[in-house]
Structure 1
Amino acid sequence: MTQRESLEFAMEQETMVQVLMVHCQAMKRQETRLRLATALMLVTFLATLVWIQFHQQTTHPVSGASLKALRTDEASSRRLSVYFRPAESMTNDCLQHQTETLVQWVRLSEGLDHQHINLTNNSVLKVLTEGLYMINLRISYRVLHNQCKSSDKPEAKLFVNITQQHSNYDAEILVRSAAESMPCKQYWMQSVALNKVIKLEANTDLRVKINSESCKFVNWSKNTHLDVTLL
């Protein structure tokens, strides 16, 4: 290669390097513009969200009274049920009746306060507020050692009734009932569950009754309960 050719080749290389540098600088400027545009879009989007939230708060303000009422409603929605368990004296009370025994209860919670429902004489659930109620009852039975002898019947009859009574009614009305048979076998376990949604008038009395014959099989301490929920 002659000296002239070498000089021309060097000039061409220098020109290519300059072109490449210019191209790189242009790409960097374009990338910077793209980043700035993206950042501007994000800032605009966030500002729009903040403005919408502020506009909603100013358009629909929540006063102190409204907030208090909202909290009261939320609290009341968590206190719609009342729970009962059988009274400890039920075992002795069963022996005093010939055919039918009125189940006595102990109140476990104050979910439905005394403005809605109350317990009278440990056996009558006095509904004070008219409304739609869900009633859940579960009575658990178990046959203990020596409760079933050879002279006993091979089956035990289980009768459970939920009734309501009101001054507008001529007589006590049956809400829900169950009639089942249980094998009289040692250590046998069985449950009767009743549930119903019913509209009750104010000052309605609810009662739970079982046949006295089945009293000795009732597991009063466990798995026997009554729940009443205002819907």
Structure 2
Amino acid sequence: MGQKLRGHTLPAEAACRDSMIDIGRDESVLILIKHCQDMKQQETRLRLITLILLLTCMALLIYTTSSGLRQHEESGSRGQGSAVEQRAPYSRQETLFPEDKQTRLRIHLRPPSPTNKTKMSDGQYFEWDVDFGKYYNEKTRAIVIPASGIYFVYVRITLSCHGEETQNLQLFSLRLRCWNERYTKQRQLTDAKDDVECTQDRSKSVFVGQLFDLNEGDHLSVWIEKGYKLIKTSSFGAFLV
């Protein structure tokens, strides 16, 4: 009995051992396949990392090149800008004082020379000679406004007794008047009054200066109401602000 059992047991043990060998071989194949898959994944990762590095290097190269070109262009534009800035004061000056274009008023008048001076008395418009500027009408004895705008108009007169006055207290009065060919009505912009004590050798200054909103074609004149003989020096002018 014992021998029969052992005879039956040996073939069973061999079959089991063979099956274990087959299982071991299958596991080896699975491990090899898994190893190959891992190698492929690592290779894919390496290729992806390499591609990212190449793209990064290309981006850095493009950025560096564009930055250099931008700096070169900015330096060139700054050079041109400095040249423009150097020309800017002249451009601004031409814009602020375009006398040649006859669009801006800057004029200063002084009393006429003895050779050009006509007989004057109270109740007349004061006569002037041009010190600098344009737009003075000798016939109307007026400054002509070339364009509408805000103007500063001034009149300065120094009064003094000349020894011909018979009274001690001498009165002086002037009016700054404006008229336009488009309108028939004459306007009085402002006036000034003062007096001079002739018992002593004294001088007195009368100054009128004010901003006015004037229209194109306005004529500005100084009307001497009283005291013309007291005028020692005088000036009259206007400019656009």
Q: Normalising TM by the smaller chain, what interval?
A: 0.5 to 0.7
Looking at structure 2, the residues matched to 135 and 64 of structure 1 have their Cα atoms a distance apart, in angstroms, of 38
Q: Which residue, out of 105, 108, 120, partners 1:94?
A: 120
Percent of residue pairs identical = 13
The CA distance in 2 between the partners of 1:229 and 1:53, in whole Å, is: 46
Matched, 1:177 2:194: no
Calculate the aligned-residue CA RMSD, in Å: 3.4
Aligned partner of residue 129 in structure 1, secondary structure: coil
* Structure 2 match to 1:128: 146
From the superposition, tell whether residues 188 and 63 of structure 1 become closer, same or farther in structure 2 (CA, over 3 Å): closer
Which of these two proteins has the greater Rg computed from alpha carbons? 2
Q: Is 1:107 equivalent to 2:126 in the alignment? A: no
Residue identity in the other structure for 2:112: A
Contact 1:105–1:122 (CA<8 Å) still a contact in 2?
no
- Cα deviation, 1:179-223, whole Å, max 9, x if unaligned, reads 222222242211110001111111111100112x41211114xxx
- Tell me by how many angstroms 1:157 deviates: 1.2
Q: Give the structure, 1 or 2, with the largest relative contact order (CA under 8 Å, sep 6 or more).
A: 1
Q: Which runs of 5+ in 1 are unaligned?
A: 1-50
Contact between 1:162 and 1:207, CA under 8 Å: does it hold in 2? yes
TM-score by length of 2: 0.57
Q: Is this contact kept in 1: 2:172–2:228, CA < 8 A? A: no
In structure 2, stretches of 5+ residues that fail to align are 1-69, 100-104
Considering fraction of residues, name the structure with more helix. Answer: 2
Distance 1:76 1:141, change over 3 A: farther
Structure 1 counterpart of 2:108: 83
Aligned ranges 1:59-78 → 2 under 5 Å: 71-77=90-96
Give the deviation of 1:74 after TM superposition.
Answer: 1.7
Instruction: Map Cα deviations across residues 68-87 of structure 1 (whole Å, 9 max, x no partner).
Output: 67623224536763211011
| 8 Å Cα contact 2:158/2:231 also seen in 1 | yes
